[in-house]
Structure 1
Amino acid sequence: MKKISIINNKGGVGKTTTAFNLAHFFSKAGYKTLAIDLDPQQNMVRNFGMDEKKTTIGDYLLGRTDDYEPIVINDNLHLIPAGNAENDMQLLTSESPLYFEILNEFLSQLDELYEIAVIDTAPAFNPYTTSAIYASNVYSILIPGQNEINGLNTTINFSKKLKKEVSGIILTRMEKTALSEKVKTDLEEAYGELLLNSIVRKNVMLSESILEHKSIFDYAPNSNGANDYISLGREILKKEGI
């Protein structure tokens, strides 16, 4: 199972929108996909329109259940919610100094069930985000802006402390403005091939689709948002060798 996490310690950069739509894209492409919400805000679970009180990632990591019961979205897409993440993270860190390895150990038990896992994370390097970085291939995401670039650099440096290199950089909410173009140019010069070719343009339908608890492919299949996430999904599949 390939595992990818969407990371940036700056909020509002499109992490959940991207994780949500990528999970849908992979499942629609025929891959057995697991979406994992590690953000205490549980925005991904709400995007799916699902019950937050189902069996959570904390239940699995802390051994509160021996049964594996993900939320079934469809035949190819399952979901694990974050639950009471703040409390569970405190308990997790008390388990072992190597608490961040527990998620990876859990996911290794699911290798035969899924081909790809998409992990949504909080805008903070908390125990769950640290666990996600350790367990997965890291894709850092940002929107055009200096603060967001600072967040990208922080993500890269934090990942290196866990001996992980960032696999790719995703630029979202791109507009036809001087600022957006400058940020794109700066990223190309600073990070080269790490910046993915597929860029997600700013598109109001992406926000509208979330309100309807639908992926952009179901809500507006011919929109720029759908086309951009199709391109991004295909590029990640190729990069991951799937």
Structure 2
Amino acid sequence: MKVIAVMNQKGGVGKTTTTLNLAHALALQGKKILMLDMDPQGHLGSCFALDTEINSGMDEVLMTDKSLNEAIINVRDNLFLVPAGARLGELETQNQGANKGYRLHTALADMKAEIAQTNAEIYDYILVDCPPASGLLAMNAILSCDEMIVPVTGDYLALQGLSRLIKVVSHIEKTLQRSTRKWFVLTRFQKQRKLANQIREKMVNYFPDQVFETAIRENVSLAESPGFSKTIFEYKPKSNGAEDYENLALDLLQQRTFH
């Protein structure tokens, strides 16, 4: 049961789009997938037409004694979700003791123990949709994940944001004496743009064997599909977006990267 945080401090890079469509792509490959919405905006739940004012979720898991298993909603075949919940943003401002950065880690450990006791089928992947910030919610994701997927757009501001993220994560890992495998995916990619290709080349040089082969092309259907409460595979299964996220899932499963 591998926990992967989809993370970047910069907004607008496609974290939720990637979590949503990569998760469904993996589910269509026969994998059992759980998504955790750690962004107080609750966009992941909105993609499945869940009302954040009604559906509690990660807020109660992290702020009360509610277990992850109690909060899980089955949204598609092989695809499950714990929505953000209306109060998740409160966690950033509450003083909840020294272990508040480990609340997600503890909740995941408890869930694994519950699954083991009942001999239930485990999840192949848990994808965590992280907020565009470096606060307590992001810290919980960093301290809980086995791997990270970092979406990066093809512009220099994205590279600057990526540099800040890597510094923050490296500092945490050095302090805790642990290392998390990191994957990078180019999003909103326009291969006809020279700059986008230069950014990809720089990333491959900086992060050899960590940049996925598949770049997610700029595709209007990816932006439209949440408005219809559908993933790209339900909204436009023949689109570039669907093709790219299907290939990205294979990149993850087969660890296909640029060398």
Relative to the length of structure 1, the TM-score reads 0.92
Tell me, yes or no, if the aligned pair for 1:141 and 1:152 is still in contact at 8 Å.
no
Of 131, 136, 151, which residue of structure 1 is paired with 2:140? 131
Distance between the aligned counterparts of 1:61 and 1:211, measured in 2?
28
Q: Which residue of 1 aligns with 2:184?
A: 169
Aligned: 1:24 with 2:33 = no
Tell me, yes or no, if the aligned pair for 1:142 and 1:152 is still in contact at 8 Å.
yes
Distance between the aligned counterparts of 2:76 and 2:241, measured in 1?
22
After superposition, where does 1:202-217 map in structure 2 within 5 Å? 202-217=218-233
- Unpaired runs of 5+ residues, structure 2, are 116-121, 174-178
Describe the superposition over 1:58-98 as per-residue Cα deviations: whole angstroms up to 9, x where unpaired. 2112224357131221341111111212213333xx22223
Worse overlay, 108-117 or 149-158: 108-117
Aligned: 1:47 with 2:47 = yes
Q: Per the alignment, in what secondary structure is the counterpart of residue 194 of structure 1?
A: coil
Tell me, yes or no, if the aligned pair for 2:39 and 2:129 is still in contact at 8 Å.
yes
Q: Per the alignment, in what secondary structure is the counterpart of residue 193 of structure 1?
A: coil
Tell me, yes or no, if the aligned pair for 1:35 and 1:119 is still in contact at 8 Å.
yes
Q: Which residue of 2 aligns with 1:185?
A: 201
Question: What letter is aligned with 2:183?
Answer: G
Of 52, 57, 80, which residue of structure 2 is paired with 1:78? 80
Question: What letter is aligned with 1:135?
Answer: S
Tell me, yes or no, if the aligned pair for 1:54 and 1:71 is still in contact at 8 Å.
no
Distance between the aligned counterparts of 1:119 and 1:51, measured in 2?
19
Of 160, 165, 168, which residue of structure 2 is paired with 1:150? 160
Relative to the length of structure 2, the TM-score reads 0.86
Identity fraction in percent: 29
Question: What letter is aligned with 1:196?
Answer: F
Worse overlay, 199-208 or 160-169: 160-169
Worse overlay, 72-81 or 119-128: 72-81
Tell me, yes or no, if the aligned pair for 1:37 and 1:121 is still in contact at 8 Å.
yes
Q: How many angstroms does 1:110 deviate by?
A: 2.6
Distance between the aligned counterparts of 1:89 and 1:191, measured in 2?
31
Question: What letter is aligned with 1:12?
Answer: G
Q: Which residue of 2 aligns with 1:233?
A: 249
Distance between the aligned counterparts of 2:76 and 2:239, measured in 1?
23
Q: Which residue of 2 aligns with 1:109?
A: 110
Q: Which residue of 2 aligns with 1:61?
A: 62
Describe the superposition over 1:33-78 as per-residue Cα deviations: whole angstroms up to 9, x where unpaired. 1111111111111111112122311211222435713122134111
The change in CA–CA distance for 1:31 and 1:110 in structure 2 (over 3 A counts) is farther
Q: Which residue of 1 aligns with 2:9?
A: 9
Distance between the aligned counterparts of 1:152 and 1:55, measured in 2?
32
The change in CA–CA distance for 1:100 and 1:127 in structure 2 (over 3 A counts) is same
